[in-house]
Amino acid sequence: MIDNYFKEFVLDEEIQETLQNIATKNGIKIIDVDDVKSNVPDTTWPSIKAIMMNFNFSTKVSYNFRLAHELSHLLYGDTSLQDVYRFCEFGKRGEELLAHKNAVKMLMKIKQPTSVETFMNFYDVPSWLEEYVEAEYSLLS
């Protein structure tokens, strides 16, 4: 059990590093904060290509999924639509849905999951996205 935990921790760190490298290559600044309240979501400012990641944000969704989601706004979204994006795990329309879907694609390209279930559990992906995760997973298989 400890061995599996260690493997997951190392994999989590490797994925985070890969996401940070993607940000750096695209001129995106990631600001990690731990001194704001838990009700303040991760926030993206397209005009300055910056993302604030709140370590205290009250959500079950993993840091790496949230970071991939926020990066997706800047890399694949229409940055002219909004001045600010705030992470919402229940965002099922427009730019939020697109960012969720692109986060799934991005993370699957970084590390191919062994199954839909392991992907959903590893990143604590909101359950309502499972059908989309299944569709993307089937494209990899």
Its pTM surpasses 0.85: yes
pLDDT at 7: 44
pLDDT at 91: 86
- Cα–Cα dist 38/25, whole Å: 30
pLDDT at 112: 84
pLDDT at 97: 94
Listed as ranges, residues in the chain with pLDDT below 50 are 1-7, 9
Which letter, b or e, does each residue of 30-44 get, where b requires 16 or more Cβ atoms within 10 Å of its Cβ?
beeeeeeeeeebbbb
pLDDT at 4: 45
Contact at 8 Å (CB) between 42 and 66?
A: yes
